[in-house]
A = this chain, B = another copy of it.
Amino acid sequence: MATAPGDLSPAEARAEFRAGLAVPTAGWSAGHAHANLLIVPRELAFDVLLFAQRNPKPCPVLGVLDAGETTGPLLAGGDIRTDVPRYTVYRDGEKTAEPTDLHAVWRDDLVTFIIGCSFTFEAPLLAAGIPIAHIEQGVNVPMYRTNRRCAPAGRLGGPLVVSMRPIAPDRVADAVRITSRYPAVHGAPVHVGDPAGLGIADLGAPDFGDPVAIPAGHIPVFWACGVTPQAAVMESRPELALGHAPGHMLITDARDADYAVP
């Protein structure tokens, strides 16, 4: 690449991944929305879309490729089977492979859900001078299963999963205000402080991602997390489901700013 990853257009970035590059996408195609991927057989697709309708904060659907569709307006000219740097294959709810393309497992009855990602609201937090611990510490955001149940839908049900970012007390209001402007990508926090109130016993032992050191005086702030629908689908143990590998997102043609409300 002659161009820095942050300066590539989404189409250029997807072309790199289509050609086989398999790296996390943090920092790529700055200003464009990165997204979670969840791909299920058509017979489970209504339950997934209904789960999303009933749980919009953890499951913000940005787009859907119906059975037989492999591209769409969020990835113009692209191919959902090749354009994500690394995928995860689940069979009966268990991870079985992490391929760099899906040709070996693709079927014409698969429906793709493109789901918003908190990368979109982290950029404006950083722009407002609010540090983000997991970025500073070079790890994945910590995520936790909570004691809150999602509204079930058909065969799908499960706990709300949250991501956590420690925030300085004098910036909590700003973090709420800024993220609430992005209702399509998780929006405002669901909980501020007191991990026990969500049934989280130990912030140092996240269920997904990595633990972060919490700066002195900072308090944990929790946002609904896009892992929620994936966890609900896996609990139903579908014969086949596909997703992106952690941090290896779909880079969409949408701009982060497209998801901001005034």
**A50 close to B49 (CB less than 8 A):** yes
Per-residue contact bits, chain A 78-108, to B (CB 8 Å; 1 contact, 0 not)? 0000000000000000000000000000000
Most central of A49, A64, A183 by chain B CB within 10 Å: A49
**Complex Cα gap A64–B152 (Å):** 12
Besides A46-B49, A49-B53, A54-B64, 12 new A-B residue pairs in contact (Cβ under 8 A), listed by A number: A45-B46, A46-B46, A49-B49, A49-B50, A50-B64, A50-B66, A53-B61, A53-B63, A53-B64, A66-B153, A66-B154, A261-B261
- What are the residues of chain B within 8 A of A63 when measuring CB–CB? 53
Which chain A residues in 36-65 approach chain B with CB under 8 Å? 42, 45-46, 49-50, 53-54, 61, 63-64
**Complex Cα gap A154–B45 (Å):** 13
**Minimal beta-carbon separation of A151 from chain B (angstroms):** 8
Q: Could you pull out 8 A-B pairs where Cβ atoms are within 8 angstroms?
A: A42-B46, A45-B46, A46-B49, A49-B49, A49-B50, A49-B53, A53-B64, A183-B261
Copy tally for this chain in the complex stands at: 2
Name A residues whose Cβ lies closer than 8 Å to a Cβ of B: 42, 45-46, 49-50, 53-54, 61, 63-64, 66, 153-154, 183, 261
- What are the residues of chain B within 8 A of A49 when measuring CB–CB? 46, 49-50, 53
Most central of A42, A46, A63, A154 by chain B CB within 10 Å: A46
- What are the residues of chain B within 8 A of A153 when measuring CB–CB? 66
